[in-house]
Structure formats: C-alpha cells, structure tokens
A and B are shown apart, each in its own frame.
Chain A
Amino acid sequence: MGPKKKERDTDHSSSSKGGNTTNNGRVADSVQADHELFLQAFEKPTQIYRYLRTRHFLSPIFLHRTLSYMNGRCTRNHQNRKTCKLVNLLDSKVQKNSQNDVNTRSKFMTLTFLGFYDPKVNGCREPVKVETLLLQIGHKKRKDVSSPIMQISVGTTEVCINPNEDSPPPKAPTVSIATEDLSLRNGQQGNSYVLLLRVSAPIISESEPQPKRRRLSDASLTTGMLEETTRLFGAELVVYDRHSRCLLIDGDYELAMKEITSPESNGTSPGGSDKSLRLANASWSTVDSSHTAPPLNILIHGPMLKFRLEWANDPISALVDRPKPYVASASTQTTDKSSSSTSSSSSSVEKSQINSVDEPTVVRYQFLYNASRRQQTETRSDFRCPWCSLHCLQLPALLKHLRLCHSRFNFSHVGTEKGHVRIDISVNDAYDGSYSGNPHDLIAQPLALGASSGGAAFGRQGPTRRTPITATLVWRPRRMRASGQDPLQAEGDDGYEVCETQRPFITGHNRLYHHTSTCLPIQAKELDVDSENETDPEWLRAKTCMMIDEFTDVNEGEKELMKLWNLHVLKHNYVGDCQMGVALQMFLDAHGQELLKRNLYRNFILHLSNLYDFGIIAPATVLRTISSLQLILQRSPEHQEILKQAWLGQLFSKQEVTTVTST
C-alpha cells in the first residue's frame, strides 16, 4: 500500500521560480517533467514493497514479533521457560485443566432473566415460560457421520413479559447450570455446548391471523407442555464452541428469539432414535439464514429475551433481587454482542480488549528527490509503516523497520518537534538487489508439468548433489543498548548494528560455471568430471581431413598418410623436434598395421626422408623407425603380399612404360 502522495505547493524551489512570469510555462513544463521523474524514481520500490507486503500476509517468511527491535509486538513473555521442567508438565496441565478459564473461578453459570420483550404484545400479560436446555454436541472428524447430540434440561422458569423499565418487578427468576455439566472431556476438543432457550408464550393479538402457525404442531403434542394458544420461541447461544473456547462472559444479554413453527417439516433434522432428541434437533436447527432477517432488524422488531449471565461459585435458587443494570460503559460492550447469530460474540470480545492506543505522535514523511524537490505524505498519527502497514508501536522500532525492510530507500530521522516526527525518504541508489545465495537456485527450472529435473532444492526425483554453501540463518551479535530516540546512530552503513565479527552472510561455493563447448551451466553433480580439455575434438579432425582432401597437388596415398599423421600429431600434441622419435615410434605402434594394409609403406618412407631432410630427425631415428616397420612387416605375411603385389604392379607398369618409350 503506497502512501498517498500529495504535491506540496509550498516547495521552495518551484515557488521561487514560479514567480518569474516570463518563463512561467517553461518552468511549469520542467516542473511537470521533474515531477514525473520523481514519481518514476519512487514507483518501482513502492510497487515491490506493495507486492512483498501482500506476499507477507499470505505466506510470511518470518514473524515481525520475533525481531529484536519489535519486542512490543510479542505479547507472550518467556518467563515460564526458565522454570519449565519436563516432570512438571503433567502437574501443570492438570492444574491448568482444573482452572480452565472463566468458569474456573465459578462452579455455576447463572442466568437471571430480566424479562421477555415482544413489541407485538401490548400491556401486561401473564408471565411466559422459559425453558433452559443445554445441548452437548460431539464433533466427529468425519463429516459424513452425524454428530451425537445430548440434551440436558436445566429448568423452566416463569418470566414476566414486557416489564416496565422504570419500575421493574423487584424479583427476577434465575437458573443455574453447574459447570460439571459443561465439563469438557479431558479438555479434549470435540464437544461443544449450546445453551437453548425456549419461550412458550400465550397467544396474543387477534389482529394477526396466522392459522398455520397457530395450528397444533407435532412437537407440542408430544411434549404435551403447550396449550393450543401458545407460541413457541427459541434461540440458542454457544457456550463452548468446538475448540472449547468459552464464548460467554459476564454481562447482560439481549437474545433475539425466533418463532418456531413446524419442527417436523425441517429436513435437516438427523434421524435420532430418541424422540425428544429429535424434537430438540428439529426445533433448534431452524436458525436458517434463508428466513432470518438481518440481526439488527430482529433485535428491533422481533421478540427478545433479556437476561443476565454470571459465573458464580454458588448456585442461586429460583428468585433473586432484580440486579441493577450495568453502568453505561460496561453495558455497551457486553450487550451489543448478543445477537441471534451467536458466533459473532467471540470476535467482539477480542476487539474490545485491544483498544489501547499509544500516545498519538504524528509522523510526517518527506520524499526527497534531487535533494531539492520534495513531497510530503499525509501524515500518520501512529507508528504504522506506510509500505506494509505494520504497526511498529514505537518510533525506534518503526525507524529500524523502515531501514531494514525497505532498504531500497534511505531513511533519515530528521527530528522530533512538538509531537511531530519527520522522516526524510530518498531513493537508495546504492541498493544492491543482486542475488547472493546459491546460483544454482537461479538456474533451476521452476516446477513444471512433468518436469523431470527440478532445481536441486525442489527436485522430486530424489536427492541430488548440491554445491556446498553456507548461509547464515540466525545470527545473534552482541547488541548495544538501544539509545532512546536515535537508534540509527548505533548502526553501520548496511543497517545492521556494528559488531566486532562481521562475516558475510553467505559463504562457500557461490559461483556458477559453464561448460566450455555448450555454454550450459554446470550442475553441481557434474563439477568433478572434466572432459573438455581434449585437444582434438571431433570437428577439428573432420575439418583436418576435409582440408587435406582439398589439396590438388598431392596424390591419394600422400593424402591418406598426411591424414593419419596429422591426426596422430593432433591427438598427442607433440611440441618439439626432440619428441619426433617418440612420435614416430608411437605412430607405428598405433597405425603400423593400417599403414601396411593401405599400402602406404613407400609414402611413409618418403615422409621419413622428408623429416630427415629438414633436419628434424637424426639418421639413427630413420634407421630405427624403418627397422621397426620392417619388424611389423615380417610378422604378417598378408602385408608382405600386399607390398609385393604393389611392387610387382609398379615394376610391371614401369617396364611397360620403358618398353613403350624404347619402341
């Protein structure tokens, strides 16, 4: 959430220039352009922080309350940690269980009925009967099983209808419910308790013809409690919800009642075997959003039961003195939370508790651009961060938060004067947003449909090798005491506190290498294998052969020998004349057979003599090489045959030539 910026017309530079009327338009243009630039400069970081804020809401990577400078946000204290011992766990748990919450102090929940209000009833009538029932609902994990429900009748009382507010009846009926009835099974979750209040009122105004509603209902017949001329009202109130949280606290309650018409027509009733159980279910599940008016409407127009709820240690019998109404401040908090929709009460309780506001100090943010042009936000009267609307509670915490979490900006705390805190903001040009972690995380493929090779950390193909890298996750340097109003003074340039042993947060193998031939990144598992230092790649060999083939002034035999020899030299990478003897010997070892097979004997001898002529090899080397070639020749008769045939053929053709020339 970016702060709303409004331009400040009282800006010094622009107003002074604006006074000059001759170049007013030009100045206005430049101001406009300047303003655009200003907005652009702040736009990107603001957008980034807006995105980060949303992400932090959805999936936080850390909690602000764990930060040392956000102490105020941590509502728990760690005092118990020191005294906590394993052997005491059970005892403390039992003890805690016995005094679970509100009703620990008290053994009974007492309802004091103040009256039944029905705007449709005029004048005083005879009192209505209020039946109080307690419903225990056991929750099952599985949804398809209907929840077991137990009903306990607590008592029936007579409550006067529409009592006069000014002179209420002196006595009020009460009902007490023992907390044993509300016992939560070993504190185990799964049981919730619902308080049911049923009012059977004698029928009233004739002006309202409701034949259907007046008709006998099946329920009233079976219970036999109601006469023909009664209307049945009901409402429910959750005492403990399914997480065993007590939702009712002391207070005056105004409970909107709903008329119950035909219990058996309700399809939602689970088929319980017990008849009264069925009745209970059927009657009370009529709180249905489809025919419920908005809660407030019900409170105004519908019938209403007023009662006071108290947790007490002693049961109270039948009639008590009518309690005095609460004083206004207390009663507004408690009364307005009772409504026909019972679940809303819990949230309002929490809200009323968090109401403590710090002393209102106005924080004013000034946006600096080019050191002269500035813009001011709407000031804020609390220490909320304007980018992530985080409530920092205190000024030092706010400054620290801004500095550390929004480091794309520079913040400077200019000063506090009469309740105003001014913070100057400029774009941090030195911000280094580069990724300093493991570079393999960057090149890793995002998870994809049917992708086989995910990144190292996210791979689903089992473990993969990763580069060793160390990232500092938790670091607790020795801190200096936060010195009151100016916490930024004690920090180094990077926003962290100065401490003696500063080390980089990420150390280790944080470089990415690439294969020389394919330019593909080298995965961690490939680091050990080095196969790319060969001196004769395939393409070079192919190219060498192709180039030799393109010669036109050498014969085929010479080309073949040159290919063999050049590739041999290429492969072994001989570097000097002195290695030629060895080179020749190795050449014969590797290619001697092939040489003879392809009838390149004479070409090789020519090659040798060339080497000798150019002074590269000694005569002894020539002799040794030829003799070793002869050795190969002697061992294989087939090569001798090839050589002989070639010699004979050459001799024959030569004789032919000589005869031709002679004739």
Chain B
Amino acid sequence: MTSKRPTEQAEAIDNADLSGEDMEDTASSIGSSSTLDTASRSNTPTLKPKKRGKPGRKKGTKIPKINYKFSSFIKEDHGQPLFGVQFNHLLREGQPLVFATVGSHRISVYECPEMGGIKLLQTYADPDPEENFYTCAWSYDEESGKPILAAAGSRGIVRIISPATMSSIKHYVGHGHAINELKFHPSDPNLLLSVSKDHALRLWNIRTDQCIAIFGGVEGHRDEVLSADFDLEGRRVISCGMDHSLKLWRLDTDAIEKAIGDSYTFAPSKSSRPFATVQENFPNFSTRDIHRNYVDCVRWLGDFVLSKSCENTIVCWRPGRLANNGIRVMNNNAVTVLHRFDYRECDIWFMRFSLDSWNKVMALGNQVGKTFVWDLDTDDPMASRHLVLTHPKCVTAIRQTALSRNGHVLLCVCDDATVWRWDRIL
C-alpha cells in the first residue's frame, strides 16, 4: 500500500515534452490566464485523438474574469503527502470557514480567518502510525447540529470524528482494502458513501451504523474504485476507477430506497440476523469510452459529468445521446462528450479537482505545484480558459484542491505536507 500514489505515471500515454515550452509565469505569485498558444501546444496528438472544433473555439476564448492571489501557506510537521482537503460547506455565510486536511495518520481541522492566513483548530492522529488517510468528508449530527468529520484511508476503516467533543465517535470496518474517497449524501447527513480499493462502493447509515448497500460485483468495477459523487438530489451516484470505467448507480430503485428506510428502523438488539445489506451488482450505466487510463476524479455538473484521468484533460460528458432526456439504460451505453478542459503536467494519478458549491469555479492542481482554475460561470463555458496559479515555493504535486462555498477561498494540499491558501480578487 505504501507504493500507492507514487509519481509513477500509471500506464500513462506519455506526452512528449510539455515542460520546456509553456511556463509563462512560474515566478509570479498571482495567477494569470494562459495564452492561447500554450493551450493548443499542450495537446499532443497522441493524447487527444479527437479534437474537434478547437480552432474555431479558440477565437472566442476570453480572459476569465476571476483571479486569485496568494494568501498564505502552512506546512504540517509530519512532512508526508496530504491527500485530501475539504471545506465544511455546511457552514453558512457569516460562519467561519473551516476545512480539514488528511495525510499520513493525521486529520487536521483548520479555520480560514477573514483576514487571511490559516489557523489550526484541532489535530487527530490515528493510533496506528501505519494508517495513511486519503480522504475526508463533512456532515453534521441531525440531533445536535454539531459537525461530523469522516476520514478514511489505507487501512480501510472509516473514522467518524466529532470535532465538538474532540473524539472519534464511530468507526466502520468492512471494506476489504483501502478507502479512496468518502462522500456524504447531499440531503441526508447520515448517508455516507465510501469508495474502496476492494472494487466496491458502500453506502453506510452512520446514525444506526448499518451498511445499507454494496455497489460492486459482476458488473461493478474491475479494479480499485478511485472516486464517486452524488448528484445534486442524491438520486444517482457516479463512480470511476482504475478499470478506466465510469459507472452510474441509481439510489432511487425500490430495493435501495427500501434498504435506506429499513436501515433507520433496524434494531440490531432485537434482531438475530444482520441487516440485509443490498448487494447491487449491476450499475445503471457503464462506460469505458471517456478515458484511456485510471479515472481518478469524477463530479456531477447538473446532469453532466466531469471526470478526469491522468491524460491532462477533464472531460465534460453525459450518458446517452444528447437528444435523450432521461439518462438510461444498460444496453445503450452511448455517451456524448461535450467539452474537454485541458491543462498540463498532470499525468500522475490520484489528483483531484474540485468545484465550489455553486458549480461556478473549478480548480485542479498539477504535479509541479501549479493550480488551474476555470470559470464556469460564463455564457459559454466551452470558451472559458483557465488561469494558472503558481508560487515559487509550491513545486510538489497538488493532490487535491478545495473551494469554499462561494469560491472566494481556494486551498491546495501538496505532497510535501503544505497547505496553500489563495484568495479571490474581487
């Protein structure tokens, strides 16, 4: 497991030389938008077999309206890579900006003060120093309204932490291998989705401590699952993994909905049988046509899907034909690719992009410490170009980015245990 997340270019179709040509603003600490040339030059033919309409679109590209300036950075003392950073999006306007980072066997909770800087609030360490946390997610306790932080990693144990009581209140054993991502249901704070190296996803009810469903099996992922995301209503889950595939699982089927309901009423002390965990073997939709390599990050964007592989592009696509209304059916696994967001020097895997909660800004870091930011809040997102944020001291791979609720603060966590804060210039 320690060999995971290396700089190895996992069976990457390597693009010849990107490094020499295009670093327009390496020394500036203020992000600047890239020029048109670099965008086109970075696309080697091997990387993007089908480039359609590129020249035409380039004419319309505009300089993005948003920009970020460097605020501060901190370094955690363990020096190990930080793999996850998550803002607590449940905190509203006026409440402090709180985020958590995970890496090594640590979970740290920070605050972003208005004035800039990063303030450490709490740190938790797993008793096992061999643990390596990969991911975390925020939720809240329904009764008290207090925040809850879930974290998981190489040991495959989900830890639920209550920052209010400063203790680990629960843990879930069950995954057969490392857990690569955790997500909470958008509307039900008790439903936790975990995505594992054991080729499966699990849906947990953290209030009653039951495993509601396991997504995986014959038609499931054939290799590590790396990422997953709930859609806005929490009816569908899209997952992706090392088998190059993206799979869509519906949560609004009768079986799953019944299991979710049962999980709340199930009384373990009264039943001699375990909770009837649903084993969902058949995704509603599956494709391998989007990427040619490990798919390590996926997010819903309305009915569209944003997913990336280590091919220097984030693909915006949707299942089925564009004309079709409902997303559907197994036998018809057609996809429609809408757009490709290109960037450079990001061909190692386990690099995650993020969106703010209004889906207006997207950010992704690359393996040499640069951050690409896209403004999706334009008339024509296709025409949106990225700006590149660089800092002379930020030179290692940015594993994950996080955007605050309103997109005003951007965080990047790096392989050298640093956390970088960028503030939006308004």
Contacts and interface: CB of A to CB of B under 8 A. Distances in A.
Interface of A: 443, 445-453, 459, 461-462, 464, 515, 517-523, 525-526, 528-529, 531, 537-540, 542-543
Interface stretch (B109-117, B268-276, B284-292, B295-303): B268-276
Contact of B277 (A464, A520, A529): A520
A521 B172 CA distance: 10
The listed residue with most A CB atoms (<10 A of its CB), out of B174, B207, B272, B274, is: B274
B213 to A, nearest CB: 10
Interface in B209-244: 209, 211, 214, 217-219
Given A452-B208, A520-B211, A538 B279 contact: yes
Contacts of B277: 517-518, 520
A408 B356 CA distance: 50
Contact of B169 (A451, A462, A537): A451
A41 to B, nearest CB: 15
A450 B143 contact: yes
A448 B279 CA distance: 28
A443 B173 contact: yes
Contacts of A531: 273
Contacts of A517: 214, 277, 279
Nearest to A537: B279
Contacts of A543: 218-219, 281
A453 B270 CA distance: 11
6 tightest A-B CB contacts, nearest first: A448-B169, A539-B281, A461-B269, A453-B268, A520-B174, A518-B277
B396 interface: no
Contacts of B198: 519
A453 B209 contact: yes
A453 B269 contact: yes
Give the dominant DSSP class at A's interface: loop
A449 to B, nearest CB: 6
Nearest to B198: A519
B209 A519 contact: no
Given A523-B274, A525-B272, A539-B217, A446 B267 contact: no
A46 to B, nearest CB: 16
11 contacts: A446-B168, A446-B169, A449-B141, A452-B269, A453-B208, A453-B209, A453-B268, A519-B175, A519-B176, A523-B268, A523-B274
A529 B273 contact: yes
Interface residues of B, number: 35
A464 B169 CA distance: 21
Interface string B253-272: 00000000000000111001
B171 A526 contact: no
Contacts of B219: 543
Interface string B139-166: 0010110100000000000001010010
A542 B207 contact: no
Nearest to A453: B268
B167 to A, nearest CB: 7
Contacts of A540: 218
B179 to A, nearest CB: 13
B170 interface: yes
A433 B243 CA distance: 39
Given A519-B175, A520-B174, A539-B281, A464 B168 contact: no
B174 A518 contact: yes
Nearest to B214: A518
Given A446-B169, A447-B169, A518-B279, 12 more contacts: A449-B143, A450-B207, A451-B169, A518-B274, A520-B173, A520-B174, A526-B273, A526-B274, A531-B273, A540-B218, A542-B281, A543-B219
Contact of A450 (B141, B165, B167, B282): B141
Nearest to A444: B171
A523 B214 CA distance: 19
Contact of A521 (B167, B168, B173, B217): B173
Contacts of B267: 452, 461
Nearest to B175: A519
A176 to B, nearest CB: 60
Given A459-B269, A531-B273, A542-B282, A449 B174 contact: no
B217 A446 contact: no
Contacts of B167: 446
B162 A449 contact: yes
A532 to B, nearest CB: 10
A523 B217 CA distance: 24
Contact of B170 (A446, A518, A528, A537): A446
Nearest to B169: A448
Contacts of A464: 269
A40 B162 CA distance: 32
Contacts of A525: 272
Contacts of A448: 160, 162, 169-170
Contacts of B218: 539-540, 543
B143 A445 contact: no
A448 B164 CA distance: 12
A520 B194 CA distance: 14
A462 B267 CA distance: 12
B170 A451 contact: yes
Nearest to A449: B141
A522 B167 CA distance: 26
Contacts of B272: 525-526, 528-529
Contacts of A461: 267, 269
B174 A519 contact: yes
Contacts of A538: 279
A180 B277 CA distance: 77
A452 B209 contact: yes
Contacts of A447: 169
The listed residue with most B CB atoms (<10 A of its CB), out of A447, A449, A459, is: A449
Interface in B277-336: 277, 279, 281-282
Contacts of A542: 281-282
A520 B165 CA distance: 27
A459 B270 CA distance: 13
Nearest to A461: B269
A425 B211 CA distance: 48
The listed residue with most B CB atoms (<10 A of its CB), out of A459, A537, A539, is: A539
Contacts of A449: 141, 143-144, 146, 162, 165, 169
Nearest to A521: B173
A551 to B, nearest CB: 14
Contacts of A453: 208-209, 268-269
The listed residue with most B CB atoms (<10 A of its CB), out of A445, A462, A520, A538, is: A520
A446 B267 CA distance: 18
Interface string B161-197: 0100101111101111000000000000000000000
Contacts of B282: 539, 542
B261 to A, nearest CB: 16
Contacts of A459: 269
B143 A452 contact: no
A573 B274 CA distance: 26
Nearest to A446: B169
Nearest to B282: A542
Nearest to A528: B272
Given A451-B170, A523-B274, A539 B279 contact: yes
Contacts of A519: 174-176, 198
A538 B282 CA distance: 11
Contacts of A539: 217-218, 279, 281-282
A462 B165 CA distance: 25
A528 B165 CA distance: 38
Contacts of B169: 445-449, 451
